[in-house]
Structure 1
Amino acid sequence: MKILIAEDEYTTRLMIQVCLEKWGYQVESVADGKAAWQLLEKPDAPEIALLDWEMPEIDGVELCRKIKELPRDNPIHVIMVTARDSHSDILQGFDAGADDYITKPFNDDELRARIRVGERIVRIQSTLSQTLLELRQALDLVDTLQGSIAVCNVCQMIEGEDGVWHERDDYLNQKIDSRFVWTECPTCRK
């Protein structure tokens, strides 16, 4: 799983990156919000983003808002990582769309636990999106099949809704079916 670290402080960014790579994650790291946004706009963007609050170009809160507006089937899981720990700051982070919030300084175990939660949520969302796509395809097929009338290519008999096959003319004369629109072709109108 790919994780983005957007942190302007080099030592903190490197410390987080080393931990994540040690735990087996593919990491991309940047020093400002603009570089992070350029990565997150791409179709193959990281699934989890760790955002510092105070960064050059675009701050973490504004970046979080922009991320949550991206039209994606699987939204990016955003974790704010910041020294801002007041109640109002935490609420502002969540109001911006953050999925989680870690205050600095934090320990590696807390970071790992929160990343694992994010990973589970990302996988669940991905499974739900795939299931939704499959359901839509199945419903499209059902709609197509419900609107179909089986006609034999050889004898032109028509299968009724009851599963019984009928002579074409008999079926058409006795059955009023909303799938048939009775009209005259251009040749017969003449």
Structure 2
Amino acid sequence: MKIQDRCILVAEDDLTSRTALQLTLQKWGYVPLIAEDGEAAWEILQGKEAPRLLILDWMMPKLHGIDLLRRIRSMKQESSFYIIMLTTRDSTEDIIEGLDAGADDYLTKPFNPGELRARVNVGFRVLDLQESLEKRILELQKAVEHIQTLQDILPICSFCKKIRNDTGYWDQVESYIAKHSKTRFSHGICPDCLQQHYPEFSDEVLKK
């Protein structure tokens, strides 16, 4: 398991809440990365190994959690994020606004450790499923590319039957197909070629 799969970004400006979250997550075996404001959290997310699961407070200096959330959802990233809003704002309107802004889950303070742990576990399961789906999609895309390559019109020599590749060079048919598919070749001699090149054996073989 990569260290990234155990990291959780915690963006919280309140020292008491931040310390409680940090100690709780560490007790469960996670590695919390702490940001004391929204801008610091944004900087952490610019790294190549940024955490995929985030716990964001709403009201923070420099950049509010809800604005950070919108910024994250507007960016183009290769990996998905699972974002939990953890805030004192507990009205129905606030919950709707947070979810509409792109939060995957919403919890109010003070948090219940058991509930938080369950929500974090759900977050990592979702991220694992997304990663598995992304790998399958990539595999399918590669398979389609192979099929499309083999369905293209191939320039082939009328005499020697070599095929011109994408770089302008001429390959043997079996060499070209081997490069563009997983096909393996087993060589033999067809009856016509046997009769042409080995006439002394052809009659005997054809009788069998």
Which residue does 2:23 correspond to in 1? 18
With normalisation by structure 2, the TM-score equals 0.71
- What is the distance in 2 between the residues matched to 1:111 and 1:157? 64
Which residue does 2:169 correspond to in 1? none
Q: CA deviation at 1:41?
A: 2.3
Q: Partner amino acid for 1:29?
A: I
Q: CA offsets, 1:66-90, max 9 Å, x none? A: 1111212332111000011000010
- What is the distance in 2 between the residues matched to 1:137 and 1:72? 21
SS of corresponding position for 1:45: coil
Q: CA deviation at 1:42?
A: 2.3
Query: Does residue 67 of the first structure (1) align with residue 72 of the second (2)?
Result: yes
RMSD of the TM alignment (CA)? 2.3
- Which segments of 5 or more consecutive residues in structure 2 lack a partner in the other structure? 164-172, 174-189, 191-208
- Which segments of 5 or more consecutive residues in structure 1 lack a partner in the other structure? 160-164, 166-190
Query: Does residue 125 of the first structure (1) align with residue 130 of the second (2)?
Result: yes
- Contact 1:41-1:70 within 8 A present in 2 as well: no
Q: CA deviation at 1:29?
A: 0.6
Which residue does 2:106 correspond to in 1? 101
- Contact 1:83-1:104 within 8 A present in 2 as well: yes
Which residue does 1:110 correspond to in 2? 115
TM superposition outliers: structure 1 runs of 4+ over 2 Å: 148-152, 154-159
* Structure with larger Rg: 2
Between structures 1 and 2, the one with greater helix share: 2
Which residue does 1:170 correspond to in 2? none
With normalisation by structure 1, the TM-score equals 0.77
The number of residue pairs the alignment matches comes to: 160
Q: Partner amino acid for 2:75?
A: L
Identity over the aligned pairs, expressed in percent?
A: 45
